[in-house]
Amino acid sequence: MGSRSAKVERKTKETDIALSLMIEGAGTFSGGSGVGFLDHMLDLLARHGLFDIALKAGGDRQVDDHHTVEDVGICLGQALLKALGDKRGLRRYGDAAVPMDEALAQVAVDLGGRAGLVFNAAFPDEKIGAFDTALVKEFMQALASNAAMTLHVNVPYGDNAHHVAEAIFKALARALDAATALDPRRTDVPSTKGVL
Instruction: Give the domain extent around 43.
Output: 5-180
CATH number reported for the structural domain that contains residue 154 in this entry: 3.30.230.40
191 within some domain: no
| 185 located within any domain | no
Sequence letter at residue 182: L
Query: 109-141, pLDDT tens digit by residue?
Result: 999 999 999 999 999 999 999 999 999 999 999
pLDDT, residue 1, reads 45
Average pLDDT of span 55-67? 90
Question: Is residue 190 included in any domain, yes or no?
Answer: no
Region of 75 (left: φ > 0; alpha: ψ -120 to 50; beta: rest) is alpha
Cα(138)–Cα(126) distance, rounded to whole angstroms?
Answer: 14
What angle in degrees, to the nearest 10, is found between the helix axes of 66-84 and 134-147?
Answer: 30
Number of domains in the chain: 1
Tell me if 189 is assigned to some domain: no
Which residues partner with 8 through β-bridges?
19
Stretch 30-35: mean pLDDT, rounded? 96
Band of residue 2 on the pLDDT scale cut at 50, 70, 90: low
187 domain residue, yes or no: no
